[in-house]
Structure 1
Amino acid sequence: MIENPGILLTVLAFVLVIGPLVFLHELGHYLAGRWFGVKAEEFSIGFGREVAGFTDRRGTRWKFGWLPLGGYVRFAGDMNPASQPSPEWLALPARERAQTFQAKPLWQRAIIVAAGPVTNFVVAILILAGFALAYGAPSTPPILDGVVAGSPASAAGLQPGDRIVAIGGRTVSTFSDIAEYALLRPKEAVQIDFDRAGERLQVDAVIGERVEKDRFGNIFRIGMLGVRSGTPVFEPVGVFRAPLLGAQQAAGIVRTTIDGLGQIITGRRSVSELGGPLRIAQVSGERLAMGPTQFVFLIALISINLGFINLLPVPVLDGGHLMFYAVEAIRRRPVEPQVMEWAFRGGFIAILALMLFVTLNDLGAFGLWRNLAGLIG
């Protein structure tokens, strides 16, 4: 039976996910800028016309825009998208100019820009550390307790008692490492390294494919080897070790994201799997309906992806600014304003095109085009 969380719950869940994460991302920029003496003129959650807001004692306007799909901090003197000095900036009084973003040394500007994505990673790491404290760390040894008859593992000759050491060239330390690797790679050929009675062996296998449908009717194509573990083991985690485990899990999620993008680029996965704001809203509603644990984990996952995407070297994104700062550090002079301007225009167009594409993807996943074709036919 398909359970739909409903439009109101979906919208609420989307706001509860995106709003705080965007706020914390921009707060990272804001706090770093404030630390280095840069005045913030505006701090906005959402775009478009202001719905509500207030001005604090430092002259910063805190406001909410009507379109809650992002946010920004506008620092004093930040008069163009590339944050380049302009005639208006040069015309400012010396005291005001000293409080602007452009007036700060390169390393301070880089820290201010990087602080947003870093904050997203820190938030996710803290959430994952909390899960580790509450539930422990998965520590089930990668020893096969059973092999499903007729499965890829059976065809490759794996047997109960074999200890998987590596799969696809990646070291395996727990049984969950096996499942996580196979999950994203249906129908891919891999090499499996394992120990059998003290002897190191290797076999080639083709990961199987299984199509699953969740309680909301979503269909997933996942990879499976056809192996079973023994009794799941969860190792207790202390306060000091939890952040380290959280960081390791965050790094693993980033690696999985890169793997997924690589599969889409190389054609091993369909571009239809790329999702945008509508898909995020759908998943947010579904996870909230599943309970607080699933919902909070989704927040950590999206926070990691928000930090990762913003670090990509694309003009307009934080990573694009950092890329130009790196060039400036190497050349020992800023990139020419004309080059910056055209690069940021191109980056803006690319981001808009991507947003349009993933939105069309989302609408297709919701069956809009199929329904329209049925009406026309």
Structure 2
Amino acid sequence: MTGFIGQALIYIVPFLLLLTFIVTIHELGHFLVARAFGVKVDRFSIGFGRALLSRTDRKGIEWRLGWIPLGGYVKFSGDLDASSVPDQAGLDELKSRVVAEHGPAAVKEYFHFKPVWQRALIVAAGPLSNFALALVLLTLLFSVIGERIEAPRVARVAEGSPAAAAGFQPRDLITAINGRPVTEGVEVTRTILLSANDPLTFTVQRGGQVVSLVATPVRQLEEDEVAGRTKVARVGLYLGAMQQSDFSYRRLNPFEAVGKGADAMVSVVTTTFTYLGRIFVGKESGDLLNGPLGIAKAAGGVTKQAVAYEAPPSVLILNLVLTYLQFAAIVSIGMGIVNLLPIPVLDGGHLMFYGYEAVARRPVPARVQEVGYRVGLALLAGLMLFATWNDLQKLSLFKFLGGLA
């Protein structure tokens, strides 16, 4: 029993807190922009299910704390269906009901009768809030920690690896990949991870000479406390500082921290879309995609790593907080990206419908919405099943059950 409680504290509780926090910020984005445009809101809930706490304010908005901590939601007055994009017949029915119950003046307070550009901004505010949250967290991190740059110096070359075959040697300094300059080890690692089976040309400084080496990353199975069992692209290079000039550190003022945070966020977004693009063209297996189980395992791994050092409790707590801020920023970016996908059940699908409405001057027909909604559900379910399959593979569950992994 004690062991289960410990595992729950390490894996389940951090995951639920993280998910609820990020989803609440997402829904708060919808809520704040909607209220700025005068939209009537029935409820803002943190968590789902029966209310543990509930209060209705003077504007008639119910503020609720649900007993299931799996995110939250905002409910606009007059929502008719799950897609929140009724067709013309649905709009006419809703308008008649609102006029009958509250009078003609009340119509302008309902989300569905706002101009299409306002509805689009309200919908886009959710994912944009996730990006804004990530930027705030990354800026805070860079303000507290500063910037540490480690040069891409080769410390060791794995025997029998593509790097060894290409002729890499310890103390080589990588200065460019495929002609693109690199100054940090993380840039080299990121490029290799996204280049499985694609030959890469490395420009290397060796002593006083410039050497060109070609190596092709290959996928290999790795076990990681945070990511679990994954196949990732490697060339067999171990990077690390070998002399004082290989690393530098500087404190960042608030403006520099914002810029560095924005750069980091853009890097995560571009890396994610590059990886997704490689999946669609068959160059990646999607092994790095995570579902709820994978995020929960990663949350637990982050917790364990943050408290693994021998240090005073105050230092461990600070390290845990900073580590979780970084993890929350990355998950928040992921949530923003997923919600912008053009799938009807997501914010991106709503924006797609509003784009049609802006051009055609009428909502998407009900039949088309229904088909789109079903296809969207199927796509989303497929994506979640695929990600969950990856999670189970990484957790070695199938190996435990009979060696299927």
- Which of 128, 131, 144 aligns to 1:134? It is 144
AA paired with 1:82?
S
Counterpart for residue 32 of structure 1: 33
Q: TM-score, normalised by structure 1?
A: 0.85
- Tell me the distance in 1 between the aligned counterparts of 2:387 and 2:170: 44
AA paired with 2:157?
V
- Tell me the distance in 2 between the aligned counterparts of 1:216 and 1:303: 17
> Over aligned residues, Cα RMSD in angstroms?
3.1
- Which of 231, 240, 252 aligns to 2:255? It is 240
SS at match of 2:363: coil
AA paired with 1:90?
K
Counterpart for residue 89 of structure 1: 94
Counterpart for residue 326 of structure 2: 297
SS at match of 1:19: helix
Q: 163-172 or 190-199, which moves further after superposition?
A: 190-199
- Which of 116, 120, 141 aligns to 1:106? It is 116
- For structure 2, the 5+ residue unaligned runs are 307-319
Cα pair distance change 1:188/1:225, threshold 3 Å: farther
Cα pair distance change 1:295/1:45, threshold 3 Å: same
Taking only the aligned residue pairs, the percentage that are identical comes to 38
- 8 Å CA contact 2:202, 2:212 repeated in 1: yes
Counterpart for residue 310 of structure 2: none
1:348 aligns with 2:377: yes
- 8 Å CA contact 1:79, 1:86 repeated in 2: no
SS at match of 1:138: strand
Summarize deviations over 1:7-27 as a string: whole Å, max 9, x none: 233221012100111110000
Summarize deviations over 1:163-221 as a string: whole Å, max 9, x none: 54432565424232112222454554223345679987754211255544345793344
1:167 aligns with 2:177: yes
1:282 aligns with 2:293: no
Alpha-carbon shift at residue 134 of structure 1 (Å)? 2.0
Summarize deviations over 1:45-90 as a string: whole Å, max 9, x none: 3344444422222111222344433432111222222322534421
Alpha-carbon shift at residue 296 of structure 1 (Å)? 2.1
Q: How many residues align?
A: 371
- 8 Å CA contact 2:22, 2:71 repeated in 1: no
Counterpart for residue 122 of structure 1: 132
- Tell me the distance in 1 between the aligned counterparts of 2:196 and 2:250: 30
SS at match of 2:27: helix
State how 1:295-334 maps to structure 2 within 5 Å: 295-334=324-363
Alpha-carbon shift at residue 132 of structure 1 (Å)? 1.4
- Tell me the distance in 1 between the aligned counterparts of 2:192 and 2:382: 32
Summarize deviations over 1:275-309 as a string: whole Å, max 9, x none: 21122122212212322133221111100100110
Q: 236-245 or 86-95, which moves further after superposition?
A: 86-95
AA paired with 1:123?
L
- Tell me the distance in 1 between the aligned counterparts of 2:179 and 2:366: 45
SS at match of 1:315: coil
Q: TM-score, normalised by structure 2?
A: 0.80
